[in-house]
Amino acid sequence: MIGVAVLGSTGSVGESTLDVLSRHRERFSLIAIAAHRNAAKLARQILAWQPAYAALADAGAARELAALVGSRAPHTRLLAGPGALEELAALAEVHCVMAAIVGAAGLRSTLAAARAGKRLLLANKESMVMAGPLLLAAVHGAGATLLPIDSEHNAIFQCLPAPVRPGIAPPGLRRVLLTASGGPFRDSPREALAAATPEAACAHPNWIMGRKISVDSATLMNKGLELIEACLLFGLAPAQVEILVHPQSIVHSLVEYLDGSVLAQLSAPDMRTPIAHALAWPERIDSGVEFLDLLKAGRLDFQPPDYDRFRCLALAQAAARAGGLHPVLLNAANEVAVQAFLERRLNFPGIAAVIEAVVERGAGGSIVDLEDVLAADAEGRQRAAERIVGITRSESVRGAHA
């Protein structure tokens, strides 16, 4: 039996992982589940799965979890606090770790899994964006296996010749083409974006995702973060990664070789496909996903992204070129700005404006250790918060004079 820990089990990727695991109980054993603060959903998962361990990073929510579970899961040990996730990632009985905690909050546990030499299923792209060199060093140093879960990076992985070595481009590769759905505002006029609501931004046309990643998809920042991740995962220069808007979300990415060949991975837009691929790799198992019917799909369209309307993508490309701590500042500012948008303290175009203001002031520098990353992350968050306060005050003054 393969022991599995799902970090971020209450999110969309975590729930999809549990669905795949439920189809192969003879092969996989769910050892541990963890989330940030969703006590109610984690309690339901504990009662359904009865894992050996469960944890919430938020200590206050963990008390609520204990009350909800009560004595109905006598063999489940409940843990609490940020360090609990790192403990679960390094458990001896865990062979495979799904790293699906959203945002910077997932960095330490992802690093812990790599340092423990686990099969690391990387759904937390922010860990690679923020601390790619440190994560790759941990993977190589401990002999961990790194398998990407983002549908685009998993597609690239499937199109590369074996063995794929993290951080090293295979010979003969010319470039990769990352596909993007374009999000819910793909065809919206630029002037209409200022009135975009969180509900509209989270209504993705193809994928069922959490609120933060849904907003990132709407701004195309998600594709920008994926570009940075692709460069680090596959040893590519930013100029070797091209973005294509593909509204159908059927071609998940393509790899072009020097001989003119282009390999693509196609499937229905369902995260269970890359999850099942990574769980069983190099074998193939049933994922529960509906099989692709190209005749039903009818057509596959591609177009270039609009960098003027979706400024976040251009900002991410610049951060990829600058390297070092610039992606850390970009990610930190984005997380703060997206949260402000979801709380209706910032309008949709304001997300890019806040990020641009933060990265323009950032000193950058190289990554030496984790403390460098955490310091840059804190700096980016503070500057983003200050910028949002400034924007709010300016709007209040304009409203008072109107």
Q: Would the pLDDT of 117 be above 70?
A: yes
Per-residue pLDDT tens over the stretch 1-53: 999 999 999 999 999 999 999 999 999 999 999 998 899 999 999 999 999 99
Residue 331 in this model has a pLDDT that exceeds 80: yes
Q: Which pTM was predicted?
A: 0.93
Residue with tokens 């009985």: 93
Instruction: State yes or no: pLDDT of 141 exceeds 80.
Output: yes
Q: Provide the pLDDT confidence category of residue 357 given band limits of 50, 70 and 90.
A: very high
More confident residue, 55 or 399: 55
Rounded to an integer, the average pLDDT of 222-249 is: 96
pLDDT bucket at 400, cuts 50 / 70 / 90: very low
pLDDT band at 395 (very low <50, low <70, confident <90, very high): low
Q: How confident is the model at residue 183 (pLDDT cuts 50, 70, 90)?
A: confident
- Of the listed ranges 210-214, 316-320, 373-377, 394-398, the one predicted with least confidence: 394-398
Return the amino acid letter for 165: R
pLDDT of residue 365: 86
Q: How do residues 298-313 score in pLDDT, each as one tens digit?
A: 899 999 999 988 999 9
pLDDT at 390: 77
Q: Which domains does the chain have, with CATH numbers?
A: 2-149 (3.40.50.720), 153-312 (no CATH), 323-402 (1.10.1740.10)
Q: Convert the pLDDT of each residue in 77-102 to its tens digit.
A: 999 987 999 999 999 999 999 999 98
- For residue 399, pLDDT beyond 80: no
With tokens 């220069």, the residue in question is 237
Q: Determine the pLDDT at residue 398.
A: 52
pLDDT in tens, 173-182: 999 999 999 9
Give me the pLDDT at residue 260, please: 98
Q: What is the per-residue pLDDT for 393?
A: 62
**Mean pLDDT of the 328-352 span:** 96
The mean pLDDT of 142-170, rounded to a whole number, is 96
Rounded mean pLDDT of 243-251?
95
The per-residue pLDDT for 187 is 87
Confidence of residue 394 (pLDDT cuts 50, 70, 90): low
Percent of the chain with pLDDT over 90: 85
Give pLDDT, residue 401. Answer: 43
Does 143 or 391 have the greater pLDDT score?
143
Do 254 and 176 meet the contact criterion of CB atoms below 8 Å apart? Answer: yes
At 206, the pLDDT band (50, 70, 90 cuts) reads confident
Local confidence band at 402 (pLDDT 50, 70, 90 cut-offs): very low
